[in-house]
Amino acid sequence: MKFSLSWLRRYLDTDASVDAICDALNAIGLEVEGVEDPAAKLSGFRVAKVLTAARHPDADKLQVLTVDTGQGEPLQVVCGAPNARAGLVGVLGLPGAVVPANGMQLKKSAIRGVESNGMMCSTRELELGEDHDGIIELPADAPIGTPFADYRGVDPVIEVAITPNRPDCMGVYGIARDLAAKKLGELKPVAEAHLETPFACPVEIRTDDPQGCPAFYGRVIRGVRNGPSPQWLQDLLQSAGQRPISALVDATNYIMLSYGRPAHAYDLAKLTGAVVARRAVDGEQVTALNGKTYALDSEMTVIADQAGVHDIAGIMGGEHSGCEDTTTDVLLEIAYFDPARIARTGRKLNLTSDARGRFERGIDPGFLDKGLELLTALILELCGGEPSEVVRAGAAPTTPKTVHFDPALTEKLGGVTVSPQRQQAILESLGFGVVAEEAGFDKAWIVTVPGWRPDIDGAPDLVEEVVRIHGLDEVKSVPLPREDGVARPTATSAQRLERRVRRAAAARGLQEAVTWSFLPTPEAAHFADGPVWTLANPISEDMKAMRPSLLPGLLSAARRNLDRGAGSLRLFELGRRYLRGDAGASDERLTLGLVLAGEKAPRGWSSGKAVPFDAFDAKAEAMALLADAGAPTDKLQVMGDAGPQFHPGQSGTLRLGPKTVLARFGMLHPATAKLFDIDGPVALAEVFLDAIPARKAASGFARVAYAPPALQAVSRDFAFLVPATLPAGDLVRVVQGADKANIVAARLFDDFRGAGVPEGQKSLAVEVTLQPGDKSYGEADLKAIADKVTAAAAKLGATLRG
């Protein structure tokens, strides 16, 4: 919300400086985002008079002017404006001044061989309008030599961030009311308009959608003269960032920005029959004032006549019924729309406007008549004409809300002592009505909430109002109580798991990435096993779907880095993926994704070529991170079916049994690489931390201190002939489980295929580590263990090599 100091002073009688006003705004919760001083931009520009104008000796479209600046000798200026002439009073930019429109610093220079000491300026160059056809023409009696900023009377512009719960401050008058409550000045009453209405409204006005539009008021003004609005109004609108359009349109914008009360003016000649607030028909279309055509549905409220829709109610008017310079008769519309309906319509159409921002927050339903009278009076002042009687269709919900309030709550909830009399004064200055209940003035009040404060629901909200006006700096800081001794840990098991895994990944040389939780729909669908979550009101169309996997974001990050010359990438991200749960509920899963791209090792004298990453690198990282996460990695099985995003034959899954998938890994499928525009091999893995089984609850017994074995471990090697299709991990797992009392580890150390190995088979050599207990092994003991190992391997079709 932007407004000039002079606009604020229209409603607040104050002599406070801009700094004092900004300090007060920040103190009462209306955060000042910035202050702009237009006078600073106009420094170096003066009111000047053209004394003579002669043709440039070396250019047909240039003139050489002699300009009186009121500061000594006249200056010579070269100018190309068609309206430059002797006797014209305009604005001269002196050397050293900076042109606001383009940032160019003026200096003395020669133009086609003729010296020029500055520049006569146009409206657009000084960012005071769009006119660029000629230089500014001021009245003949404008004081020559006066700084243009002083002559124009520009004043500072304040920008305030308005939170969604304060619709009353979406107008300058509401901000003035808050400042008056802060004792920064006296709030001026809303002006009364005493209008004569000599004729009945010739247009039927009604509402056929009482839920979406409970109240629809209107009147006709005939005989208006539209055109540019006066300079004072254009200046105010420009200070708020609005572009002046015409007197009729500017009047509606002025009432909206002043009082937070949107309204609309229709060209009566473009309307046919009754004007009705109704539900739209599915498929109905309207071209809005922004030039775009919108398809409507039956959940939207529109303003229409017999010919069709003219207005997306509460959001934006239609292009074909807007006011033009030729407009002579207008229909003014002012209505109360359901805030939820306006918000849903705006989200569906992806359409924002100043009106929508106010209606969906909540407009004062009691300001319909007053707002229409103010708008009518302003149009009569600017454009003339005569108004009809008001037609009122429906009624706004004006039953006041009341709150039972105990003034003692302010100290209890707000931590500050404020006398009941001071609390009453604060609330009444904000527009609340305060009446004591029978229990007594100091104990219980009935507070009537004004219509412009829909955010007030109960007594705590009133405490907030009292405290922010009384002064948040009056609330003393009180430390939280702390128990003696060492504080108990507060991190949950999930938080501890995240910290542990994140540190483990970083310790392994992986670099953490943080990507968006939203994805383009095609990328999300490519990695989803089912329907994806899509947002009704996304940040952008390219970030519409919730990610079903962390890999798309990491692949996009990898592509950006590779495109910028990164040679080797080892990225990981720890976050949540979003799936559709039972009955459409959101199912969030803690997951770790990693991508290995580029060179695993650079080229060198020993290897020659650079070594790329492969599927085993991704598997090794996944196994290591699962181990750090506490997963039983010794029981994991490697199975296929990592998903269509992975390369078949170069990918797999790590599982506990056939159903519990803890991770998937492998090389990126060429089709997926093409979708993400990535060249070269990419290894990737996804670790499903939520699938790791929880550890059993610790028993009540104390942990036994670690004691190393008394006897030295023994190792034995076994070489087996197995089918070529048998995964080596299956053999290792079976061997290790052959005798759990004695075998503490099993490790594959050789995979051989060639001479001496039958066709269709391979030789796998496994090192088995045995740990004796209370006595050393004898030959019989070792033979018994070896028999168990060979018997277990035989179940997989393995035989000992001779």
> ∠ CA(60), CA(61), CA(63), 5° rounding?
95
> Which amino acid belongs to residue 346?
G
Q: Do 122 and 136 form a contact (C-beta atoms < 8 A)?
A: yes
Residues annotated within the binding site for Mg(2+) are 455, 461, 464-465
Contacting residues for 2 by C-beta, under 8 A, at least 6 apart? 157, 158, 159, 160, 239, 240, 241
- In DSSP terms, 545 is beta-bridged to 519, 534
Largest pairwise CA distance in the chain: 124
Question: Could you give the CA distance from residue 93 to residue 687 in angstroms, rounded to a whole number?
Answer: 66
Q: What phi, psi does 575 have (nearest 5°)? A: -165, -160
Neighbouring CB atoms inside 10 A of 535's CB total 12
Q: What phi, psi does 38 have (nearest 5°)? A: -60, -25
Q: Do 661 and 646 form a contact (C-beta atoms < 8 A)?
A: no
Q: Where are the beta strands (DSSP E) in 385-492?
A: 386-387, 391-394, 401-405, 433-436, 445-449
Q: What phi, psi does 671 have (nearest 5°)? A: -65, -40
Alpha-carbon torsion (217, 222, 225, 226), positive or negative: positive
Contacting residues for 9 by C-beta, under 8 A, at least 6 apart? none
Question: Could you give the CA distance from residue 343 to residue 338 in angstroms, rounded to a whole number?
Answer: 9
Residues annotated within the binding site are 455, 461, 464-465
Contacting residues for 449 by C-beta, under 8 A, at least 6 apart? 400, 401, 402, 403, 432, 456
> ∠ CA(8), CA(14), CA(16), 5° rounding?
95
Burial of 699 (0-12, 13-18, 19+ CB in 10 A): exposed
Classify strands 301-304 and 157-161 as parallel, antiparallel or unpaired: unpaired
Q: Where are the beta strands (DSSP E) in 293-449?
A: 293-295, 301-304, 309-312, 316-317, 329-336, 386-387, 391-394, 401-405, 433-436, 445-449
Nearest Cα neighbor of 359 from 293, 321, 407, 311 is 311
Question: Could you give the CA distance from residue 492 to residue 506 in angstroms, rounded to a whole number?
Answer: 21
DSSP one-letter string for 158-222: EEEEPPTT-GGGGSHHHHHHHHHHTTSSEEPPPPP------B--SS-EEES-TTT-SEEEEEEEE
> Which amino acid belongs to residue 339?
P
Question: Could you give the CA distance from residue 628 to residue 518 in angstroms, rounded to a whole number?
Answer: 29
